[in-house]
Amino acid sequence: MNVLKKVPVREQDPNIRNSNFEEVCLGYNQEEAMEEAIRCINCKNAQCIKGCPVAIDIPAFIHEVKEGNIEEAYKVIGKSSSLPAVCGRVCPQESQCEEKCIRGIKGESVSIGKLERFVADWARENNIKPVAPAALNGKKVAVIGAGPAGLTCAGDLAKLGYEVTIFEALHEPGGVLVYGIPEFRLPKETVVKHEIDNVKSLGVKIETNVVIGKSVTIDQLFSEEGFDAVFIGSGAGLPKFMGIPGENANGVFSANEYLTRNNLMKAFDETYDTPIFKSKKVAVVGGGNVAMDAARTALRLGSEVHIVYRRSEAELPARAEEVHHAKQEGIIFDLLTNPTEILVDDNGWVKGLTCVRMELTEPDASGRRKPVEIPGSEFTLDLDTVIMALGTSPNPLISATTEGLEMNKWKCIVAEEEFGKTTKEGVYAGGDAVTGAATVILAMGAGKAAANGIDQFLTKK
């Protein structure tokens, strides 16, 4: 074995997976995992832990994997993370734990993400539960949103003995894990549902179909339902559009709509009632992970798919692994290209997308290269669907109905980073609702911080 290289992970063949929704990455088996674990040199001053937003004791769990004690490894991870099977799949490890790995200086870093995934999957297959619920301390906390931030906050508080209820607006708990990230990156039944069941097994109650701000307000949770503290993890759900002509045409979707129809409502499965538009040729506008997810979904539904992005490949905000997978599957990248108008036929349907070529300026003082239009470079892509994946911003439903909760100019909730404390007494917040659209693991980190904050607040009270 070459210690400078990661043990390769098995994947579904690109030409087979581009027409199914089964998981792309197949993960390590125990033999592969133990072989990879040997590559960890168990640094005393482990840098990888500093790169992890929830500070998992990475060398300790990898040590247990090396010894073949997978259950012990699961317990080590469980001290810091409530959703390891999710994080092992969707965390951007290359810019977090693995970026800091000493192995990475000369050669490839240890495949921490794939090891975490293996441990979590092994625990699920062997029916290992996280720690038993704690004795109740008599205090009630409401958590708004059953996404990564809310589930983490709820799990941590339950472990400390709080009676926790999560209120979820949709009919399924999971937030972006169920409506946003597709099945082929994160299986819903086996992985997501199981991790949520683990949180429930800690004693956390989840009430679905409750839209805070509409079904009940935060003030009413305190005054009428007897909660002692509230955590807001409502995410960033509001889609952005470009503001170009033709955006309200039939066949223009937000990535949120397209992905929600397919992931949450399972439109790809004919036995479900929710329809999804059967496109022949799609342009996905944007270059982030959500754009890759939407593009790879449209491809699997049988369409030719173009990613239209105004900067170059180096600036694509998506994870390198996602871009690589998308290319392997046959997504066409139209880089340095910016849409200017959606062309619409007489019946109101999309018939094309007018774009202009872009070039990048020399780096400015901040080192950023700005995309500028190349004059006279307009051209038209003939297509029937445009999916806008331009990012999202927080939903104003809660801020508009909660007095004393301060927002910043981007409509994000103002919360202290260390403990998630907001401007309203007893109310904490974290995740995309505070930062704007970011990652699953950053939201989990914020949920964890807020659980600490709430515990301190209620212990003092």
| Positions that interact with another protein (CB under 8 A) | 169-171, 179, 208-211, 214-216, 237-239, 241, 247-248, 250-251, 253-254, 256-257, 260-261, 265-266, 271-275, 277-278, 347-348, 395-397
Contact yes or no for 185/279 (Cβ under 8 A): no
Residue 209 or 456 having the CB closest to another protein:
209
Distance between CA atoms of residues 241 and 256, nearest Å: 11
Residue 261 beta carbon to another protein: minimum distance, rounded to whole angstroms: 7
Beta bridge partners of 297: none
Residue 272 or 379 having the CB closest to another protein:
272
Question: Which of 54, 65, 57 shows the shortest CA–CA distance to 121?
Answer: 65
Residue 250 beta carbon to another protein: minimum distance, rounded to whole angstroms: 5
Q: Show the CA angle centred on residue 328, arms to residues 353 and 255, nearest 5°.
A: 40
Residue 170 or 358 having the CB closest to another protein:
170
Residue 274 or 408 having the CB closest to another protein:
274
Question: Which of 285, 292, 278 shows the shortest CA–CA distance to 341?
Answer: 285
For the chain, the farthest-separated pair of C-alpha atoms sits apart, in whole angstroms, at 70
Residue 229 beta carbon to another protein: minimum distance, rounded to whole angstroms: 21
Residue 36 or 293 having the CB closest to another protein:
293
Residue 175 beta carbon to another protein: minimum distance, rounded to whole angstroms: 11
Residue 142 beta carbon to another protein: minimum distance, rounded to whole angstroms: 14
Residue 281 or 357 having the CB closest to another protein:
281
Residue 7 or 276 having the CB closest to another protein:
276
Other CB atoms within 10 Å distance of the CB of residue 30: 12
From the CA atom positions of the chain, what is the Rg in Å? 23
Cα-flanking dihedrals φ and ψ of residue 326, to 5°? -60, -45
Contact yes or no for 384/283 (Cβ under 8 A): no
Question: Which of 231, 56, 76 shows the shortest CA–CA distance to 155?
Answer: 231
Residue 193 beta carbon to another protein: minimum distance, rounded to whole angstroms: 12
CB contact set of 375 (below 8 Å; sequence gap of 6+): none
Residue 353 beta carbon to another protein: minimum distance, rounded to whole angstroms: 18
